[in-house]
Structure 1
Amino acid sequence: MAKKKRKYRKLERSLPVMRANAGGIDIGATEIFVAVPADRDTESVRSFPTFTQDLHALADWLQQCRVDTVAMESTGVYWIPLFQILEARGIEVHLVNAQHVHHVPGRKSDVLDCQWLQYLHSVGLLRASFRPEHAVCEIRSLMRHRENLVQMACVHVQHMQKSLDQMNLQIHHVISDITGVTGLAIVDAIVAGNTNPKELAKLRDHRIKASIETVTKSLVGDYRPEHIFTLKQSLTAYRHYQKLIADCDQEVQQRVEAFQSNDDGPTAAADSSSATSPTAPSFDLHSHLERIFGVDLTAIPGFDVLRIQTIFSELGADMSPFPTDDTFCSWLNVCPKDGTSAGRRIRTPKVKTKNR
């Protein structure tokens, strides 16, 4: 429900109105301020709590005021629930960069943020930030979560290596990957109580380049129970995150398989053999991406499956929002700022932006 009525200063307009039905929303963690055109309600600015039922009440009020487009700043993740509710109601939502709002001159100190947003949006001075379609947003959320899981799994691998170093076991310096077949087999045996270097070296896979003598020497150390305990817990945590990553891969696979293709060919069958990286998904992502884009983008030098998947999950397969390579580079913030004075280029600091 709306809170107690307050009196707010009316904003003086000096530019022609381009969007007569525009609204402005200032989002906070516990309270949201909304401004509508002054002629739509006796109280053109209202505040709402951030509970779900209040977000629906906010949407109802906007529709009662005949507001069909609103502007809001991308404040953390607080904007996402309201964005989705308004989008489902058919209200056009412009998610704007806070820097674009604050750099517009002429604002009075006693004007609320929502009033300023409503005014700038109504006169056409705000540009909506890029947001992909809903299906891509689902995949994006899952892939960002998966990336966090991979990072946390890597942290526990580092903890395992630290425990080995504390016992002066050099096995992770002899083999390339402690989480490979040989590494995990040896670590499993150590946490199970086997500390005999010769017996542990017998777990060496035939593909390991280091000789069995070198592996044996690397497993001679000061086995202490406290370090074996920390090694065991780190191994358990690593495998727990591997299970979470596998579950996340299943969710990603379902959505990627259902994504509309640019190619009329059949849906690719899952094939785990296509994984080229220890952190790659457990299904045949390469074939699905080729089906979606209609072309094998991994043929581009420097682009592997995971990199293409990151691009797809952040942008989708439709690049029409970026008509030129210049606009795309500007969105990525990889182009220099064009500052000139009296016909000469001047040094300008790089604008910090975050699109993820």
Structure 2
Amino acid sequence: MMEKIRKNTAGIDIGAKEFFVGLEGQKVKRFFTFTEDIAGLIAYLSSHKVESVAMEATGVYWYILYDMLQAAGFDVWLVDGRSTKQVPGRKTDVKDCQWIQQLHSYGLLSRCFIPEDAIQELRTFQRLREDHIRSAAMHINHMQKALTQMNIRLKEVISQVHGSSGMKIIHAILSGERDPEELAALCHISILKTKKEEVVKSLKGHYTANHLFALEQAVECYDFYQDKIIACDKKIQESLQRLNKDKEVDQNKKTRRKPIRHHKPDIKHLDQYLMGIFEEKDATVLPGISDYNWLQLLSEVGADLSKWKTEKHFTSWLGLAPKQHNSGKKNRNYKSKGTPKAGLIFKQAAAGLLNSKKIALGVFGRKIRAKKGGAVAIKAVARKLAVLYYKLQTKGLKYVEKGIQEYEEKLVEQKQRNILKIARKLGYELSEKQLVT
């Protein structure tokens, strides 16, 4: 018989319009999602001496209820909806809250990770920034489409239409300039030195009023989102200052940092803020990690990684650990049901390492890619990167990149040991000198 380890528990099924509350030995009661009804829900739980509450993480509907229950002094458990699945064909809101309460009372549920308030604030600003970047990218496509429809082939000649040179040309076109030579002269000198003739050719277009209007609309929308990104950067900087607990930032200090190639935030002394928050444990020593994706990781997992007992717990939560889905002698394929945003950040960093010619993790990734494909290789490299990040922040690991040559030498040594082991099993005697070519 299973033994209950928690008494006075409640299960709540969360919806857009109503909350369903299940208590042991009581009929399910429903409350609307208005603030005064939530106050009534809290009073109802208090009247029945409830101590611990479990509820599913449904969209964003749980936010306000979670905050108000915590403020009222309840032990609140936010749980993954996949761990509370009902029996097929018997799923209703009433049965869900009763099932959640029962599982919680027997200790069969695990908490979701919820960062502290200051990190949640930073996460809000950072995710808003990324949303604006995606929206701006959509309007870059609109600009390229309008230019192509007028046969202005600028995107085939320069790397970024939305770069400094590209935007100068586009603004000049919208101001009425049509001379290809004059437009090309707006490009950076590095472009003019190598491909001036190609730029001039690409700017000989067939201008039409409707496509110029579409280009103008796209540029205005793009500029609008650039302003919003700058506003988010200011809020992120304010959050970083609060997280630093009034530590002074040296305005004159200059350090060499990895370049941030895309979407660099307009935050002065970003590296000093991050080093202060993480107590001088510099994550940018790891391959693929710059100040920007370090900031992204801070907004998703916080600065205290000791909440995960080991690196295995951490990589499992990130969705980067290998999955087991065996039944008897069959090893079935397992399709992942989503990866947390922090796991995607590590994957993005890992994708850039696969083509590296100097980093050992790149060789490791290419070796796996040759056998199992790119997706598996990126996940494997991301997992190794996450383990290094965890050890650096929790144990003060000092990472030193030893390069491809040493990694390949270790692979050769490993293969030699395997050959010796196989030879012994087959009854042959081989010495290490015989393996040397």
TM-score by length of 1: 0.86
Partner residue, 2:104: 121
Confirm whether residue 80 of structure 1 aligns to residue 63 of structure 2. Answer: yes
Q: Distance in 1 between matches of 2:93 and 2:13?
A: 15
Question: Structure 2 vs 1, CA of residues 104 and 332 (structure 1 numbering), >3 Å: closer, same or farther?
Answer: farther
- 1:347 pairs, out of 327, 332, 336, with 332
- 1:30 pairs, out of 10, 14, 17, with 17
- 1:308 pairs, out of 273, 294, 299, with 294
Q: Distance in 2 between matches of 1:204 and 1:212?
A: 9
Partner residue, 2:40: 57
- CA apart distance, 1:318: 0.5
Q: Distance in 1 between matches of 2:58 and 2:250?
A: 39
Q: Distance in 1 between matches of 2:93 and 2:74?
A: 28
Q: Distance in 1 between matches of 2:121 and 2:252?
A: 20
Confirm whether residue 17 of structure 1 aligns to residue 17 of structure 2. Answer: no
Q: Distance in 1 between matches of 2:321 and 2:274?
A: 28
Partner residue, 1:233: 217
Q: Which amino acid aligns with 1:277?
A: R
Q: Distance in 1 between matches of 2:178 and 2:296?
A: 43
- 1:158 pairs, out of 128, 141, 151, with 141
Confirm whether residue 254 of structure 1 aligns to residue 238 of structure 2. Answer: yes
- For residue 320 of structure 1, give the secondary structure of its aligned residue in structure 2: helix
Confirm whether residue 219 of structure 1 aligns to residue 203 of structure 2. Answer: yes
Q: Distance in 2 between matches of 1:187 and 1:35?
A: 61
Partner residue, 1:292: 277
Does the 8 Å CA contact 2:86/2:99 hold for their aligned counterparts?
no
The share of aligned pairs that are identical, in percent, is 40
- CA apart distance, 1:265: 6.2
Q: Distance in 2 between matches of 1:215 and 1:271?
A: 41
Q: Which amino acid aligns with 2:9?
A: A
Confirm whether residue 245 of structure 1 aligns to residue 229 of structure 2. Answer: yes
Gaps of 5+ in 1: 1-13
- CA apart distance, 1:164: 0.9
Q: Which amino acid aligns with 1:33?
A: F
- 2:152 pairs, out of 169, 176, 181, with 169
Does the 8 Å CA contact 2:13/2:93 hold for their aligned counterparts?
no
Does the 8 Å CA contact 1:149/1:245 hold for their aligned counterparts?
yes
Q: Which amino acid aligns with 2:4?
A: V
Question: Structure 2 vs 1, CA of residues 245 and 111 (structure 1 numbering), >3 Å: closer, same or farther?
Answer: closer
Q: Which amino acid aligns with 1:121?
A: H
Does the 8 Å CA contact 2:177/2:183 hold for their aligned counterparts?
yes
Partner residue, 1:266: 248
Question: Structure 2 vs 1, CA of residues 254 and 269 (structure 1 numbering), >3 Å: closer, same or farther?
Answer: farther
Question: Structure 2 vs 1, CA of residues 271 and 235 (structure 1 numbering), >3 Å: closer, same or farther?
Answer: farther
**22-31 vs 204-213, which deviates more?**
204-213
Partner residue, 2:95: 112
Q: Distance in 1 between matches of 2:263 and 2:249?
A: 24
Q: Residue by residue, what CA displacement relative to the aligned partner does 1:103-129 show, whole Å, maximum 9, x if unpaired?
A: 799x99996111111111111111111
- CA apart distance, 1:340: 4.1
Question: Structure 2 vs 1, CA of residues 152 and 333 (structure 1 numbering), >3 Å: closer, same or farther?
Answer: same
- 1:198 pairs, out of 181, 184, 209, with 181
Question: Structure 2 vs 1, CA of residues 246 and 235 (structure 1 numbering), >3 Å: closer, same or farther?
Answer: same
Does the 8 Å CA contact 2:146/2:215 hold for their aligned counterparts?
yes
- CA apart distance, 1:290: 1.8
- CA apart distance, 1:341: 4.7
Does the 8 Å CA contact 1:27/1:33 hold for their aligned counterparts?
yes
Q: Distance in 2 between matches of 1:270 and 1:276?
A: 21
- For residue 190 of structure 2, give the secondary structure of its aligned residue in structure 1: coil
Partner residue, 1:337: 323
Q: Which amino acid aligns with 2:307?
A: P
Question: Structure 2 vs 1, CA of residues 320 and 182 (structure 1 numbering), >3 Å: closer, same or farther?
Answer: same
Partner residue, 2:435: none
TM-score by length of 2: 0.71
Q: Which has the higher contact order (CA 8 A, sep 6+)?
A: 1
Q: Residue by residue, what CA displacement relative to the aligned partner does 1:279-328 show, whole Å, maximum 9, x if unpaired?
A: 12101322211221122211110112222122111100001121111111
Q: Which amino acid aligns with 2:302?
A: G
**54-63 vs 150-159, which deviates more?**
54-63
Does the 8 Å CA contact 1:26/1:33 hold for their aligned counterparts?
yes
Question: Structure 2 vs 1, CA of residues 28 and 268 (structure 1 numbering), >3 Å: closer, same or farther?
Answer: farther
- CA apart distance, 1:256: 1.1
Q: Distance in 1 between matches of 2:92 and 2:277?
A: 50
Q: Distance in 2 between matches of 1:217 and 1:110?
A: 65
Q: Distance in 2 between matches of 1:128 and 1:296?
A: 30
Q: Residue by residue, what CA displacement relative to the aligned partner does 1:218-247 show, whole Å, maximum 9, x if unpaired?
A: 111111111111111111110000001111
Gaps of 5+ in 2: 342-437
Q: Residue by residue, what CA displacement relative to the aligned partner does 1:157-185 show, whole Å, maximum 9, x if unpaired?
A: 11111111111112222222222221111
- For residue 210 of structure 1, give the secondary structure of its aligned residue in structure 2: helix
Partner residue, 1:71: 54
